[in-house]
Amino acid sequence: MLEIIVLSAADARAAASGGADRVELVSAMEVGGLSPSPATVAAVRAEIGIPARVMLRRDPGFAAPGPAELRRMVRDLRAAGAEAFVLGFLDDRGDVDRRALDVVLDELDGAPWTFHRAIDHAADRAAAWRALDGLPGLDAVLTAGSPDGITDGLATLIEEAGDPRLLAGGGLRAEHIGPLRAAGVTAFHTSTAVRVEGAIDAAVVRHVRTLLTE
């Protein structure tokens, strides 16, 4: 499975044309991705037929806004056409913020979602994985294995490759794909590796797709 981070309808169109299976729609990629505007969500949903996951994140970092704001954000994005989400919150101790997740999951009502790279910043990685067990709708955990990216976290990802939820991303490059595939990783996430002069390049997406199938 190949997921591409996109910022716009044009990005999404190029990703789909290049063979992406899914897109992750964000804004402010320079801070790890924030929620896009509802208008952008609607434009992307109108542009492509492949699945899209929408970032639910108001601020840089991994602290959650209050319950009322979380509920408003989810409702606004769903009203614009969002059907699946990407989110991840840590509390002051660096643990998975289950209170914030429970608020969101009550709104999502079983919709699919990804826990994003907050896991790479958790105080206890093993405990974070355990905290995610059994959460409704969760089918992917986006991780680089390290806060500093896949180059530093590759060994960790190889150790965790048996978990079917693992979505490898965070500085993913072509040279990482072979070792990860050999270890059993089946889902990959990237953006900068498929951008040319800031825009998604369908030909480069197509090349990455060939690396996943050869």
* pLDDT, tens only, 133-177: 999 999 999 999 999 999 999 999 999 999 999 999 999 999 999
Which residue in 90, 97, 143 sits closest to 120, CA to CA? 143
* pLDDT, tens only, 57-85: 999 999 999 999 999 999 999 999 999 99
* pLDDT, tens only, 8-41: 999 999 999 999 999 999 999 999 999 999 999 9
Distance separating alpha carbons of residues 56 and 86, to the nearest angstrom: 6
Single pTM value for the model: 0.96
User: CATH second-level architecture of 2-213?
Assistant: Alpha-Beta Barrel (3.20)
* pLDDT, tens only, 90-138: 999 999 999 999 999 999 999 999 999 999 999 999 999 999 999 999 9
Which residue in 170, 127, 164, 140 sits closest to 152, CA to CA? 170
